[in-house]
Amino acid sequence: MAKTLPKTEAVVVGMGWTGSILAAELGKEGVEVVALERGRGRDLQDYYVVHDELRYGIRYELMQDLSKETISFRNHARETALPMRQLGSFLLGEGMGGSGVHWNGQTYRFLPYDFEIRSKTIEKYGEGKIKGLQLQDWGITYDELEPYFYEFEKAAGISGEENPLGGNRANAYPTPPMKETPVTARFKEAAQSLNYHPYHMPSGNLSQGYENQYGANLAACQYCGFCERFGCEYGAKSDPTVAVIPFIKEQDNVDLRNFCNVTEVLHDGTKATGVKYVDVRTKEEFIQPADMVVLTSYVMNNARLLLTSNLGRPYDPETGRGVIGKNYCYQILPGSVGFFEEEQFNTFMGAGALGATLDDFNGDNFDHSDLDFIHGGTIAINQSGNRPIQVNNVPNDTPSWGAQFKDDSVKYFTRSLSITSQGASMPTSYNYLDLDPTYKDAYGLPLLRMTYDYSDQDRNLFNYIGKVTDEIMQEMGASHINERDNLEHYDIVPYQTTHNTGGVIMGSDPETSAVNNYFQMWEAENVFVVGASAFAHNGGYNPTGTVGAFAYRAAEGMLKYREEGGSLV
């Protein structure tokens, strides 16, 4: 029998970037908040021994335990989905700070084109250009989001310079760009010689010491190269456990609880009444009543919790109706690996977002009239710090084992560079999330089932952008460039990117979206679902900067709802 606890004004589920920002913003306005995180607490002391590639980079010490909860996966509806038994394609964070602890720190703003993608594409190219794509505008514009972008950049202390092809900025980045290196300089020179517009990557690895609006002091990056999959023991990476959560702990009206796994949103069919959660240590069940329920967990967890709670209309790919689980998207990752026979680079040094990038082939910054795809992707070189187990670039003709493999691995460890692209992912009717009819988690609840595969749009984008990255690599002076494999079917086994989006998408029409532009559910006005789950497609960038902007927009909406009630739009 679940024990019912005293009612609170707001319960926040998940304490990554979005949850910590919302708890802080609501808390400072006097809102009584219960903040629930199913993993353990963390602070800088937990990161003092993280320079262990095997433990953290390969064995995923900071990630979700798939023996308790995972997802099932299939490429197509005609296949039987099977559980993902070990982390691969993406890495799900768990514990205080969520994925904000182990990310690299690349912090972009989505382009103005992204938020009005359907209307802008049709206006310029006609409706035939989006045939086969389930596109929709997001119900908000870049200009409306711009101040919220900056609020997040202030909280995270982002280091950067203005994107010459991005949306307008009202303010410079809080801290200057990171250091220029021979690698980033080489990329910029090559790109400029091809008449492109490179700039320094916006970084959550700070170029200098900085104090944010919550009184947190973030340190300057040491360029140790242990960012992605690791916490930063210097406190020099934008991380909720450093930037926001200490402020939350000082608020008497915010109750921060660890080891609380929320299993259900309780509701009466029109409004939520609270949540049910399990203490993962004692297995006791609790009911936390609340005036507002705020879901700020990871993409898949937000969608799954709504589906298992029977809140919102599940998406049906056969009819196109329903919204929960709709428009799951990922990213398309063309790129080039180049080898330099006569040069060496100190690529074992770096930081998660120490890089240079360009947006000449992102969004609608280039003409698509004669192309068989829309959108594009950012193109970058990133000196994140190559580690010896995880990074092993060798030419295509090198055997996969034996003496030559060993020799080439050592030789090219400092003689290879990679240019990458984060290609946008467009939604289709057959890429979606729902509940698995067979497999269950440790609590007896259905697993989330992912149905996802690449489309012709994805393959055409991949081939086009890959030729551009080859061109830049050639201009950088590579002796030879590896050939890319063709993009055929999505494989969930090898790591690609932890940039999953969709499933609880935003928009201006309740028939085609789950939440409005304050992230308030159309079908339950006191439920707010915040995060990359709201993305109606995935753009050509890391999602974190846009997710951070969403958090501040949502906080404003929740405070407005607290005062006025009702639908906010």
Contacts 24+ apart (CB under 8 A), 461-464: 461/332, 461/334, 461/373, 461/375, 461/376, 461/377, 461/423, 461/424, 462/332, 462/333, 462/334, 462/423, 462/487, 463/334, 463/487, 464/361, 464/371, 464/373, 464/376
Average pLDDT, the chain: 96
Q: What is the structure's pLDDT at 552?
A: 98
535 vs 505: CA distance, rounded Å: 5
Instruction: Choose among 536, 534, 543: nearest CA to 515.
Output: 534
Q: What is the DSSP string of 6-38?
A: PPEEEEEE--SHHHHHHHHHHHHTT--EEEE-S
Q: What is the structure's pLDDT at 117?
A: 98
Please enumerate in sequence order all residues whose Cβ is within 8 A of that of 155, keeping only pairs 6 or more positions apart, or say none. Answer: 21, 212, 213, 214, 238, 243, 244, 548
Please enumerate in sequence order all residues whose Cβ is within 8 A of that of 37, keeping only pairs 6 or more positions apart, or say none. Answer: 14, 15, 19, 95, 96, 98, 256, 257, 258, 259, 260
| Interior angle at CA 353, CA 167 and CA 332, nearest 5 | 70
- Split at pLDDT 50, 70, 90, the class of 16 is very high
Q: What is the structure's pLDDT at 310?
A: 97
* pTM tops 0.95, yes or no: yes
Q: Which residues of 256-265 are buried (b: 16+ CB within 10 A; e: fewer)?
A: bbbbbbbbbb
Reading the block at residue 508, the tokens are 């201006």
Dihedral sign computed on CA atoms, order 110, 116, 117, 123 = negative
**Whether the Cβ atoms of residue 401 and residue 394 lie closer than 8 Å to each other:** no
Q: Is the pLDDT of residue 1 over 90?
A: no
When pLDDT is averaged across residues 516-526 and rounded to a whole number, the result is: 98
Please enumerate in sequence order all residues whose Cβ is within 8 A of that of 184, keeping only pairs 6 or more positions apart, or say none. Answer: 200, 354, 355, 356, 381, 383
Q: Is the pLDDT of residue 569 over 90?
A: no
- Split at pLDDT 50, 70, 90, the class of 23 is very high
Percent of the chain at pLDDT exceeding 90: 96
- How many residues are present in the chain? 569
- Split at pLDDT 50, 70, 90, the class of 49 is confident
Give the start-to-end residue ranges of the domains of the chain.
3-564
Instruction: Choose among 536, 563, 531, 556: nearest CA to 19.
Output: 531
Backbone torsions φ then ψ of 83, nearest 5 degrees: -65, 145
240 vs 228: CA distance, rounded Å: 15
Terminal C-alpha separation, the chain: 39
12 vs 529: CA distance, rounded Å: 10
CATH code reported for the domain at 3-564: 3.50.50.60
User: For residue range 161-192, what is the model confidence (pLDDT) as tens digits?
Assistant: 999 999 999 999 999 999 999 999 999 999 99
User: For residue range 296-314, what is the model confidence (pLDDT) as tens digits?
Assistant: 999 999 999 999 999 999 9
Type of residue found at 78: R
Q: Is the pLDDT of residue 432 over 90?
A: yes
Please enumerate in sequence order all residues whose Cβ is within 8 A of that of 511, keeping only pairs 6 or more positions apart, or say none. Answer: none
User: For residue range 310-341, what is the model confidence (pLDDT) as tens digits?
Assistant: 999 999 999 999 999 999 999 999 999 999 99
Q: What is the DSSP letter of 129?
A: G
Please enumerate in sequence order all residues whose Cβ is within 8 A of that of 59, keeping only pairs 6 or more positions apart, or say none. Answer: none
180 vs 163: CA distance, rounded Å: 16
205 vs 159: CA distance, rounded Å: 7
523 vs 530: CA distance, rounded Å: 15
Catalytic positions are 499
Beta pairing, strands 285-295 & 524-529: parallel
Lowest mean pLDDT among 39-43, 114-118, 457-461, 547-551: 39-43
User: For residue range 409-422, what is the model confidence (pLDDT) as tens digits?
Assistant: 999 999 999 999 99
Instruction: Give the 3-state secondary structure of residue 293.
Output: strand
User: Given the structure tokens 């939440």, which residue do they identify?
Assistant: 515
Which secondary structure element, helix H or strand E, spans residue 406, and what is its range? Answer: helix 403-412
187 vs 473: CA distance, rounded Å: 8
Instruction: Choose among 511, 525, 548, 527: nearest CA to 139.
Output: 511
Backbone torsions φ then ψ of 73, nearest 5 degrees: -140, 145
